[in-house]
Structures are given as structure tokens and as C-alpha cells.
Chain A
Amino acid sequence: MIISENLFYASILTIFTGGLLSCLLSRNFKVSTFIAHIASFAGSLFMLALAVIVLREGDNLAISLFKVTPWASLNILVDSISAFFLLVISLSVLSVSIYSLGYLKEYQSKKAAFLGAVFNLFVLAMYLVVTVDNVFGFLLVWEIMSVVSYFLVITNHREERVRRAGFIYIVMTHLGTVFIFVLFFILYRHTGSLNFSDFQSVGPNLAKNVQNVIFIFSLIGFGTKAGIMPLHIWLPKAHPVAPSHVSALMSGVMIKTAIYGLIRVLFDFLAVSYTWWGITILLIGTFTAFVGIVYALVERDLKKLLAYSSVENIGIILASLGITIILKRYGYGEYAAIALTAGMFHLLNHSIFKNLLFMGAGAVLYATHTKNIDLMGGLIKRMPWTALFFLIGAMSISALPPFNGFISEWLLLQSLLVLGISVPLTSLKLVAFLVAAVLAFSGALVAAAFVKAFGLTFLAVPRSQQAAEAKEVPASMLAGMGISACFCLVLGVLPYLGFKVLSPVTFKITGYSMSTQRGLTDIFMTGARTGLGGITPLAVMGFLVILIFAALILARVLGGKTKTRISETWTCGETLSPEMEYTSTGFSHPFEVVFKTILMPHRVKENSFIVAPYFGGIIKFKSNIKPGFETYLYKPLMDLFLRSSNQVRKIQSGSIHTYLSYIFVTLVILLIFAK
């Protein structure tokens, strides 16, 4: 208890002091960013230790930071759920901090000396969001997190596009925050308290309608921050324009704080009372996952592709939360634990590999100064380490064994099967199987998207001057990516580590946990088991390695020693030029055609002729994807809003006398009602 309390203070103080010092020393860019990120690194180490202690010992940590009035206080409570999220955040911040040491050189000329300090404030806010224990504190740090991340997003504010993205982000975030405010207000009305502990005791006994309203509000409020469709529109705009180390944290962990909020409210406060919540979340999650990856697939901007893929992964996490709720409601606690483990393990995995991929995209941006995949190519020879790490990230996110993404994908499909076999309702069973098919489909699309993202960025011949002149990034950036890549492999081969960390969380929520099931405790061979089947990733990895050597030996023994000659690629007798290569646009064209109802691609081809129609001149070709949600959902809403604002403007004459009379009339009306 004392140790963990000290660790908490040490972490907060280190990160805060680091930020403050870097502000004071902002004249010297190098020293300033160095101090900021070393502080966030050290602070995260403390926080990691704290999280591990809480998860191991099971002792909750309670601290009262300050108290102005009884309600305006900042209380900290680290229980197993908070500790798990602390672990996720601190693992991410560890690698991103190291990466930032090198990456920030990119911003040196832009005099963004405060970037380090703002980064630390952002990290601090995220740590507090998942640990505060009362409404005032939560809303305070939630707002700080939103506003600080807004400032980080608009780092390159001289570009119109960036300001626009920042604007959409801050508007959408606040829209979500309104719902969170109202949600807590409703809870306050019914409990008379602003402490989370009172919500926990009173929440499950609230009336049906109240609970349902809270559910909807939390889904919209937290869903906006998480990026569920159709509330996601800010995400693919804001994440790509932010500096890459910030994108990594926003996509990797910030959106997960919304999942934390959702879990807190639905599982902890309300103890999931209704099955339809689960079905709703499952369907929304599946929809988000599928449509998210379809958008990612046709994206040409590398960071935007990653941002859409985050939308997809949030969908997967939500889907598994939905399964958890359904299974828990039907009384299958042990199965619910599998589904929850799937979701939370995926949350952890996604934070790791999405960090890795965003850092990789940042490294490419650093080296080539472009985000357009069509202008890249050939980087594997120029940036071998970045390429290797990005490949590991791409394999993890495509759920290929032996990396961590596979474990959570496997658990997710297993929990869907369990759902399809166990629940007594046939229609619900069918939903489970169809969702499994849709998620398998999305999984295959993820692989396609990341073959494209890796293949067209790193392989073949450079398609532009910038790509041809790219050089490997500094060692600190590589170290940051390397740490994340190692986590991907370790968690993929030894998933037991993840289950161990997760077991207090799943135990708290469902009453069961994966790691204690069937008495399996061996760290190496336990793998993942459900009632239906099991995997042992270490064995799979072992067999893969053995078989690679077997293939080498087989080829050598049967074929003898042969020589390898380096020569040109065969291009029907011509010299290979970058224009002959497949482009990202070409790669995803079949998908664009098949998903045309979702993507609504728009193509314009203009031919000009020297002698019509025999001698062609210049052919112009334009293609773009219509942003469906914006055009058909947000634009009408915006128009409605602007039109009604115009109506309201009529009563605004600009004369102070009129306004005084408005105030008077309002006062009279209020007095009539308030007596």
C-alpha cells in the first residue's frame, strides 16, 4: 500500500516536473524535449510497477489528492480495472517516449518547444482519467485530456487542413462530453452522490428506464471518443495530422480511455442488467469493424489508413464487450470471462501494435516527408530496421501467428462460437455465427490492407525522389519501435502473461478468469484454451522454426548447391521504371469496385486528342472516395443547425434595449414556474 502510493506520487510528480522543466528550458530545444520525454519514460516505469503491484496483490490503492469542497475533490482509486488500463497506457508511453527523443527533431525548426511539455500533460491526463474516483475529478481530467490532445493535433496549425481537422475533433469530442456530463448528472440525481463508489452500490438497483437511458448516453458519449461508427468522423482526420508520436498515443491509448469509461459505467456501476445492451454493442461493434476496415483498405494516406484501422479495432473490442454482456446475462460467467479476456487482450495488443505502426509511419514520414503510399516504395533497402518493425506490426494486426494479434483474434472467434453454441435463443445463435463470418471477413480485409500498407511502402522500386533518398531514422526512434515489436512477439508466444494480468479484471467483472481455468499454470505451454479448443503459440512458433530449417535442408539435399544471380525484373523486355509498378490505388481497386455501395468511389477520366479519335494526347484521371457519413449524415444535420441558427438570429437585433426586455421576460417566466 505504502509502496504503491509512493509509486503513484513519484510517477505523477516525475511527469509533471519533467513537463514544467521542459517549459522553463524551452530556449534549448534539445535539452527541453530530452527532459520531457525522459520524465515521461521514468514516470511510466513507476506507473507500470504500480499497475503490476495492484494486479498482483489485489490491494486497491486509494488516495485523496485534494479537496476544495466535498464535491470538488480529486480522489484516486486504483482497482484492478484501473490498474489494467494503467498498464496499457504505461507500456505505450514507454516506447513512444523513447521514440519521441529522435522524432521531435522533425519539429525543431518549427519552434515547437512546448510540444514535450504538452505531451507530458497529455500522458498525465490519461493516467488520471483511468484512476480518478469521483465525477468532478473525472470530468476535469477528461476535459484536460481532450483539450490537450486538441493542442497536440493542431501542432502544424499553419496548414488549413490541420486546423479544420482540429476543429472537427474538438467539436465532436465536446459533443461526446455533453453526453457524459448528462450521464453523470442522471446518476447524481438518482444517487445524490458524486462518488463512483456510491454509483456502484446504487447503480444496479436503478429503474429500468433510467438504466437504459444511462446506457445510451454512455454509448454515445464514450463512443464518440472511442470512434464507433458513425461517430468516428473526427478520428481519421485528427489522428493523421497530429505529430506521429502523438498519433501513436491517441490511436493506441487515448481512444481506449473511452472503453475504460464504458466498462466503468456498464459493468461497474450498472452491473449490466439487460441483454439488449449486449446485442446492441455487438452489432455496432461489428458494423464499425467492417466498415472501418473497408475505408482503411482504399486509403492512400498511410496514417489515415492506420487511423481507420483503429476504428476497426475499436469495433472488435466493442464486439467482444457485447458478447461478454450477453453471456453474462445468460449466466455463463465462465464463457463471459473468455469473451472479456478476448476484448481486453485485444485492447492491450492493439495499443502495442498500433503504436508500433504509427511510429513506423512516423519514421517513414521523417525520412520521406510524405504520407502518400503512392509516392513511397523501396524503403526496405533504405530503412531496413523500420521495415522489419513495421512488418512485425503489420503481421500482428493481421492476426498472423506467432504474434499477439492472433491470440486475441482467436479468443474472439472462440467466444463467438461459444456464444453460438451456448445461449438458448436460436436467433441469437445465428447472430453469433453471422458476426463471426463478418469478423472473419474483416480479418481477411485487414490482411489485404496491411499487405498494401507494407508492400507498397517498403518493397519494390521507389516511386518518388523523396523515397529514393530516404535514410534510416535515428537509433532512439528505432529503439522505441523495437520495444513495441518485442512486446508483440512476447505476448504472441506467451499469452499466459496477458491472461495473468487480465485475470483480476475478468474476475472482478464476470467472477471467472482465463488463467486459473483448468489449473493451467505453466507459463510456456499453457497457451489459450476454451471449452472448444486450444492453441499453444509457443509450440506453433517452434514448429514453424523447425520447418523453416527442414525446408532449407530439404532444398539443399535434393537440389544440391546452386548459385544465385542478380538480374533485372522481367518486364517484357523493357527497363523497369516506377510507373510500371502497382500502386496503392491499383492494389485496392478490386475492393473499391466490390464495396462501391459503401465507398461510393467517384472517377473522372478526361481524354484529350491530338487527332481525334486516333492520336491520344493527355489522359487525366481523377478518383476519390465519397465520405458517405459526412455527406449523408453530418451535412444534413449541419445544414439544419445552420438554418435554425439563422432563424434564431432574427431575434438578435443588436440593440441593448431589446436584450434587456428579453432578460425581463425570461425572469418573469422563470418566477412564474419557480414559485
Chain B
Amino acid sequence: MGFVYIVLHLILLLLLAPLVEGTIRKTKAFWQNREGPGLLQPYYNLIKYLKKDSVISDNASWLYWSAPYLTFASIAAAALLIPSVSPDMTISFAGDIILLCYLFAFARFYMALAGLDTGSAFGGMGSSREMFISAMVEPVMFLALFSIALKVNSTDLSVIAGATASIGLGLMNPSHILAMIAMFIVSLAETGRIPIDNPDTHLELTMVHEGMLLEYSGKPLALMQYSAMLKQMLILTLLGNVFLPWGGLPSIDYIGLLSGSLIYIVKIFILALITATVEIANNKLRIFRVPGLLMTAFFLAGLAVVVQLLLKG
């Protein structure tokens, strides 16, 4: 029975991911006084790419066409670890937050290699910058997550989500807020948003994530973009269920699942609105200014741990 719920959870995330992306784009268009494409445009795009023939560079190797599948699989495996509607809907026996971070690293590793594989300078630039930024993000992400792990004495995400949900608003001590801000900055970096990366541009000097995907077309492109949307969804879920735990994560019964899904979806869309607004209110940073921002996040996460240690005694 548990297995069915896990599949349902994955399907929910897979179905919602493009809609969240569409919402973010629509919100950005709203703030820019544009009409913007419809909420469902990401779905149309994905289907369109899936149906197109693809062109592969003659320099590319097997790594290039396998990378989209490996990237997608690792992000989807990460999705199985993060509880969405209920803490019981994960494969928590398989891994914890550390595995989650390393599954993201797995996807990044292949994406960066794929960026290098065609020999295009854009791809190389994207890979180099992606590895550069992710190196700065990693310690922040670990510290922020560890400050929560320290609070509930567990690295298991379903335990963390369950515990934070049961404590609810009482959880919002200074440590938690600091960690949440740090994690929010991480989420901007991990999802490739302004001020760190710009998802809307193909201008060679500014792109990071898009640079790595520049040579992709057709089905592989669809998978790569879908992975990025799913990863964004996961990061928002992590923010929503671990750092903003109100609303609770109900147990598995019909009413619980229904109300849980509703609360979860509302939370995710509010977070998407915030993300879009923050993105629109900022400028893209020069690449060498990014470490400064992430350093700030690092100190916030470090402070979160210190405060948590002091509060715990």
C-alpha cells in the first residue's frame, strides 16, 4: 500500500512541476506589465520538444545522449526522498538529506559533463560556472539542513518533516528563521534564478544553466528542462515542508490526504509567487559577486547552527 502512495507522490510532483514554472513566469510577466504566456505554456513546450526530432553534435559521445536520462532519474529519485503531502509518502529507508544533496550533485555532474561534450565554448562556460556556483552553495545547504537535523536529532527527511509539522509554528525560533533565509538564497541558486543565474536569457555572458543545455534539442532537451522544473519543485517543497511547516502534514487517510494536498499546493504556489517577485526585484549579479551573496547565506546558516546550539544548551 505504501508503494502506491509513493508513486502517487511522484506523479503529483511530476504533474505540478511545469505548472509551478508557468506560475513563476506569469508572475514575472505581471510585474513587468506584460501579458506573458499562459500558465500551461511549460506543458506545451515540453510536449513540443518531445515530439521534435533532435540534432546531436558530431563531437558528442554516448555521455551526451545518456546525460538527460541520468539527470532526470537522479532528480526523480531525489523527489522520492522529499515528503510532499504526508511524511509517510517517501522512501526514507533508502536515504536522508545527505543522499538528497548528493543526488542533486549527481545530476549536476552529468549536466556539466554534457555541457563540455559538444566542444562548444558556451557549454564549457556554463559547466565551469555551474560547478563554481554549486561549490559555494553546497556548504550553505548542508549547514541549513544540519541546523534542522540538529533540532530534531535526525537526518531522515520524513522524520524531520513529521517533527516540524507536529511542532508547527512553535518551531519558528531565531535559528529556524536564519536557516530559512539561508535556504531561500540557496533555492535561488539551485533553481538558477536571478540574481545568480538568468533562466530567460540566451545571452552568452549571463547564462549558466541554459549554457550547458544550449546544444540540446528534441527529447533530450525536454528531459533536461523537465528535470530543472522538477528540481525547482523539490527545492520549493523542501522550503515549504521543512522550513515553513505550518498547516501540518497529515496522516494517510482520505480527508487527510485531500486537505494535505490542498495545503501543500497552496504553500508551493505562494513560494513560487515569492520567488518570482524576488527575482523581478533584483539584478543579475556579476559572477564574481555571487560568492559574496552566498557567503552571506553561509554566515546566516552558521548563525542558525550557533543559535540552535545555544538554545538547545
A residues apposed to B, CB below 8 Å: 377-378, 380-381, 387, 391, 395, 398-401, 406, 409-410, 413-414, 417, 420-421, 426, 429-430, 433-434, 436-438, 440-441, 443-445, 447-448, 451-452, 454-456, 458-461, 527, 532-536, 539-540, 543-545, 547-548, 550-552, 555, 558-560, 562-571, 576, 578, 580-582, 586-591, 593-594
Contacts and interface: CB of A to CB of B under 8 A. Distances in A.
Contacts of A564: 53-56, 65, 218
Interface in B5-27: none
20 contacts: A401-B102, A410-B102, A444-B131, A444-B139, A448-B135, A454-B113, A459-B116, A535-B98, A540-B95, A543-B80, A543-B94, A547-B73, A547-B76, A551-B223, A560-B50, A560-B51, A580-B119, A580-B121, A582-B121, A590-B287
Nearest to B288: A593
Interface of B: 47, 49-59, 61-63, 65, 68-70, 72-74, 76-77, 80, 91, 93-99, 101-103, 105-106, 108-109, 112-113, 116-121, 123-125, 127-129, 131-132, 134-143, 146-147, 149-150, 153-156, 159, 214-215, 218-219, 222-223, 287-288, 291, 298, 301-302, 305-306, 309-310
A443 B138 contact: yes
Contact of B113 (A459, A544, A559, A560): A459
Contacts of B50: 555, 558-560, 562
Contacts of A420: 146, 150, 309
B69 A551 contact: yes
A121 B4 CA distance: 60
Given A559-B47, A559-B51, A414 B57 contact: no
Contact of A559 (B63, B124, B140, B222): B222
Contacts of B159: 533
Contacts of A455: 112-113, 116-117, 127
Contacts of A563: 53-54
B73 A569 contact: no
Given A398-B109, A555-B219, A594-B291, A459 B117 contact: yes
B305 A544 contact: no
A458 B108 CA distance: 18
Nearest to B149: A417
Nearest to B66: A548
B59 A569 contact: yes
Contact of A570 (B129, B134, B215, B218): B215
A387 B141 CA distance: 32
A586 B132 CA distance: 12
A565 B116 contact: no
Contacts of A456: 116
B120 A569 contact: yes
B209 to A, nearest CB: 15
The secondary structure that dominates the A interface is helix
Given A448-B131, A460-B59, A539-B93, A437 B116 contact: no
Q: What does DSSP make chain B's interface, helix, strand, loop or mixed?
A: helix
Contacts of B120: 569-571, 576, 580-581
A532 B54 contact: no
Nearest to A448: B131
Given A444-B138, A540-B77, 20 more contacts: A440-B138, A451-B131, A455-B113, A456-B116, A533-B96, A543-B77, A545-B73, A547-B74, A551-B223, A562-B50, A562-B52, A563-B53, A565-B53, A565-B55, A569-B57, A571-B120, A582-B121, A582-B125, A582-B128, A590-B288
A406 B147 CA distance: 22
A434 B76 CA distance: 30
Contacts of B52: 559, 562
A414 B73 contact: no
A603 to B, nearest CB: 15
A404 to B, nearest CB: 13
Nearest to B214: A570
B102 A539 contact: no
Contacts of B141: 440
A435 B153 CA distance: 18
Contacts of A409: 98, 102
B56 A566 contact: yes
Contact of A562 (B53, B74, B94, B214): B53
The 8 closest A-B pairs by CB, nearest first: A582-B124, A559-B50, A533-B155, A533-B96, A460-B119, A444-B138, A448-B131, A455-B116
A438 B139 contact: yes
B31 to A, nearest CB: 31
Contacts of A566: 55-58
